[in-house]
Structure 1
């Protein structure tokens, strides 16, 4: 009480009037609020109620400094309705939380699927790149091999000099002599080989210079192709006792070299 005159002349009983005003104001405040706000926001109710009481009781010479609501405990049907509303509100919040959880799970699942598809596509792309690279290297190596083969053929197409042919012929004779055969048929004249050996040992004949890229006749490579009569004669000669071909070749080569030396 701040003004006793007003408290005694403006109102019959300021205490009862203040309590009645507090109850009426509290009903109005609670009626404007949700149930959760009533149950969990008592501080807001206290502040609003204090403002209303302080403003209305000022004419009674009363100053309201503090209002405190200790507990909200409705009775009867109101309490049952509030309980049902509370349960419904909790169910609603639970449904919202479940829906939000399902939404987040769907988003995470979709994101995982997207990442999986991206990784799978990236792996497939890398696999295709590696396969293409392998095919490219295979084709390059194949082309290089073909190019080398053509280069070898091109080099092999150049004419062979007499010394090379002589060496090849002697090597062929040596291989035939080392074999197990008891008969040897020569497809060319032995004297030709001997003469070429003599020229090779004496170094009296130089290989002719042949322009690069020219083709050598087959007669220069194969030598004189024997006739049927010559082959028959060689076959009859082969029926004679075995001879040392390499020794006979060297002997004949030395004789020819000696004859040419005496002629000079």
Structure 2
């Protein structure tokens, strides 16, 4: 009998401990009720409650994800698109999260679908496809404001898919292909234009360099001719001065000058000209020639012994 009592007491204590001692994880908070009335909110750790009188409901504070199912939405220009997304939220007030909403998942899903239809309904198809960030921002603001009384905070909203009808997709594909071909043609034309410009600039630079080279060569040749002419002139001048000096130092007579004059006339007469012009100042030379002739005559008339 005593053993049965001990066993009963142990079982009762175990049940009381199981019902009265709770563990709250670090990412959780708990709401404690006493006889169905809110009593307190407890943090993580070991929590002791009164068994069968108090109850505890745990609330997860980690960021959680809600998948918004795909739905058909009509844009402003009456084009049907299929849209879905995901919502990231976290609980910031366990009391409101427990007592202000029955099924948070269903509530935020329906709220997101309704506001998503409203936002996309105000946009045309092109704006819808190119304004995902704006749609995400507007939807997050609306959901965050609406779920504030539920003790939650919407962290971010991401639109996963915006799918237009197949005929619209095909038309957009053709338009994109035409735009790409147009850009390719423009790039080809720009490339050809740039290549022609570069080629013309290269030809221009080549012609300029060739002209500068020819000009420099002509200048060098002219400088060489000039130097040659100056050297020849200086040489002739030196020769003339030497001859003139030698003549004056030799003190030539008229007879010698007359002989040289005759030698010069012989060379002049060897040309192809039919007429020979003699200088006017030749009286002295001619007189010397006459004197030389008289000398030869005197030798011829000398009597032989």
**TM-score computed with the length of structure 2 as normaliser:** 0.45
Provide the residue aligned with 2:179 in structure 1.
89
1:66 to 152, 156, 162: 156
Provide the residue aligned with 2:140 in structure 1.
54
Could you say which structure has the higher helix fraction?
A: 1
| Pair 34,118 (structure 1): closer, same or farther in 2 beyond 3 Å | farther
Residue deviations 1:97-153 (CA, integer Å, cap 9, x gap): 223312321331122122112201211210221121122112202211320232122
Q: Structure 2: 5+ residue runs without aligned partners?
A: 1-88, 260-290
Contact kept in structure 2, 1:6 and 1:59, CA below 8 Å: no
SS across alignment from 1:67: strand
Q: CA deviation at 1:19?
A: 2.0
| Pair 34,156 (structure 1): closer, same or farther in 2 beyond 3 Å | farther
Contact kept in structure 2, 1:50 and 1:65, CA below 8 Å: no
Contact kept in structure 1, 2:116 and 2:139, CA below 8 Å: yes
Provide the residue aligned with 1:218 in structure 2.
254
Q: How many Å separate the matches in 2 of 1:137 and 1:157?
A: 30
1:16 to 102, 110, 113: 110
| Pair 220,130 (structure 1): closer, same or farther in 2 beyond 3 Å | closer
Write the mapping of 1:128-207 to structure 2, written as runs, cut at 5 A.
Answer: 128-160=218-250
Larger RCO, structures 1/2 (Cα 8 Å, 6+ apart) = 1
Q: How many Å separate the matches in 2 of 1:56 and 1:72?
A: 20
Q: How many Å separate the matches in 1 of 2:180 and 2:201?
A: 31
Contact kept in structure 2, 1:158 and 1:216, CA below 8 Å: yes
Provide the residue aligned with 2:270 in structure 1.
none
Q: CA deviation at 1:8?
A: 6.1
Contact kept in structure 1, 2:140 and 2:156, CA below 8 Å: no
SS across alignment from 1:82: helix
Provide the residue aligned with 1:230 in structure 2.
299
Q: CA deviation at 1:75?
A: 2.4
| Pair 7,105 (structure 1): closer, same or farther in 2 beyond 3 Å | farther
Write the mapping of 1:15-54 to structure 2, written as runs, cut at 5 A.
Answer: 15-26=109-120, 31=125, 33=127, 38=130, 45=132, 47-54=133-140
Provide the residue aligned with 1:80 in structure 2.
170
SS across alignment from 2:169: helix
Could you say which structure has the higher strand fraction?
A: 2
Q: How many Å separate the matches in 1 of 2:191 and 2:237?
A: 68
Q: Structure 1: 5+ residue runs without aligned partners?
A: 39-43, 161-214, 237-264
Contact kept in structure 1, 2:140 and 2:155, CA below 8 Å: yes
SS across alignment from 2:155: coil
CA RMSD, aligned part only? 3.8
Q: How many Å separate the matches in 2 of 1:100 and 1:87?
A: 20
